[in-house]
Amino acid sequence: MCFDYDALPPDLPEAARSGGPESGVALNQQLTLTSQDGTQFAAYLARPTAPNGAGVAILPDVRGLFRFYEALAQRFAQAGIEAIAIDYFGRTAGVSVRDETFEYMPHVQQTKADQVAQDAAAAIAHLRSLSPAPRAIFTAGFCFGGSNALQQAANHQGLAGVIAFYGHPTAARGGAAPAIDRIGDFTCPVLGLYGGADKAIPVEEVQKFDNALSAAGIEHEIVIYPDAPHSFFDKTFDTYKQECADAWMRMLTFIAAHTPKG
C-alpha cells in the first residue's frame, strides 16, 4: 500500500500559488467516464481559475480513487493545471464511493495493463475535451500508479511527459512488460521521484532505469531522496517536508518546461 486512508498530499509551496489554501480552484467535480471497452469508472476533476495550458491525469496507488487523490487534483488546480484523478476498479467494484474498509487488493490483482491504458486514455481524452483545452498533458502516478504512469510513456497517448513517484521500473503487474523493457517505445520525457530508503524498490533498480533511459536518449530526470521511504509524499510526514516541497517544485518545473506557451 502507498498512502494510509487518512493521508493528504502536501500543500503547494508558497512560490507555486497565491492566496489561501483553497484559492485557484474553479470547479471540483465527481465524474463517471467510459473506457474504450465500454466500462464506466469513477474520476474526479479539478479545474483552475487561471489555466496555464497544462493538464494532468493522476494515476492513484493500489487503493484507487480516494480523498488523497481528490485533494491532489485540487493542489494541481491551485497551480493552474487541469487535473483529473481516476479509479482503476470500474470493472470489478463499480463506481460507488468507498471508505477505508474497501478491500482493494483483490481488485488490484484483477487489473490488466491494457485496461489501465484504456482508462488513462479516457481521462486524457476528457482533459482534451475541456475548454480551453490543455496544450500539454501529463500523467502523474504513485506506487502502483507510478508504474502505470511510466507505462503510458510507451502507449502513444500524445503525452508531453510522465511523472512517477516510486513507480517500479523493473517490475510490472497486469501482463505488462516492465517499464525498463519498454523504453524503446517511450515517446515523451520522464520525471521519476524515489525514496532512497524505499524497501520495495532498491536504489540499484532505479539507477539501472536511469542508465537505460540515458542509453536510449530519452530526456529524463531521476531524483532519489536519500533517507526518504516509500510514500514520503504525504502531508502527515513532517520529517519529509523538505523532500515534499522539492518534489512539488520539480514536478511543476517539469510540467512548465514541457508545456508550449499560449
pLDDT by residue (tens digit) across 121-165?
999 999 999 999 999 999 999 999 999 999 999 999 999 999 999
Q: How far apart are CA 250 and CA 16, in angstroms?
A: 11
Q: Is the pLDDT of residue 195 over 70?
A: yes
* Owner of C-alpha cell 481524452: 125
243: Cβ contacts below 8 Å, ≥ 6 apart: 225, 228, 232, 233
Q: Is 132 part of a structural domain of the chain?
A: yes
Q: What is the pLDDT of residue 18?
A: 46
For 21-51, what is each residue's pLDDT tens digit? 445 899 999 999 999 999 999 999 999 999 9
Distances (CA, A) of 130 to 51, 148, 246: 11, 24, 30
Side-chain-side CA neighbours of residue 188 (13 Å):
27
Q: Is 2 part of a structural domain of the chain?
A: no
Q: Is the pLDDT of residue 20 over 80?
A: no
Count of structural domains, the chain:
1
Could you tell me the residue range of the domain that residue 242 belongs to?
14-257
Q: Is 167 part of a structural domain of the chain?
A: yes
Q: How far apart are CA 40 and CA 218, in angstroms?
A: 34
The whole-model pTM stands at 0.96
According to DSSP, residue 171 is labeled -
> At 13, is the pLDDT very low, low, confident or very high (cuts 50, 70, 90)?
confident
Q: Is 147 part of a structural domain of the chain?
A: yes
For 221-262, what is each residue's pLDDT tens digit? 999 999 999 999 999 888 999 999 999 999 999 999 999 997
With vertex at residue 220, the alpha carbon angle to CA 45 and CA 224, rounded to the nearest 5 degrees, is 85
Strand 82-86 with 136-142, pairing: unpaired
Q: Is 64 part of a structural domain of the chain?
A: yes
> At 97, is the pLDDT very low, low, confident or very high (cuts 50, 70, 90)?
confident
Q: Is 24 part of a structural domain of the chain?
A: yes
Q: Is 253 part of a structural domain of the chain?
A: yes
Q: What is the pLDDT of residue 1?
A: 53
Q: CATH code at 93? A: 3.40.50.1820
Task: Identify whether the C-beta of residue 55 lies closer than 8 Å to the C-beta of residue 69.
Answer: no
Compare 209 and 97 and report the one with higher pLDDT.
209
Q: Is 9 part of a structural domain of the chain?
A: no
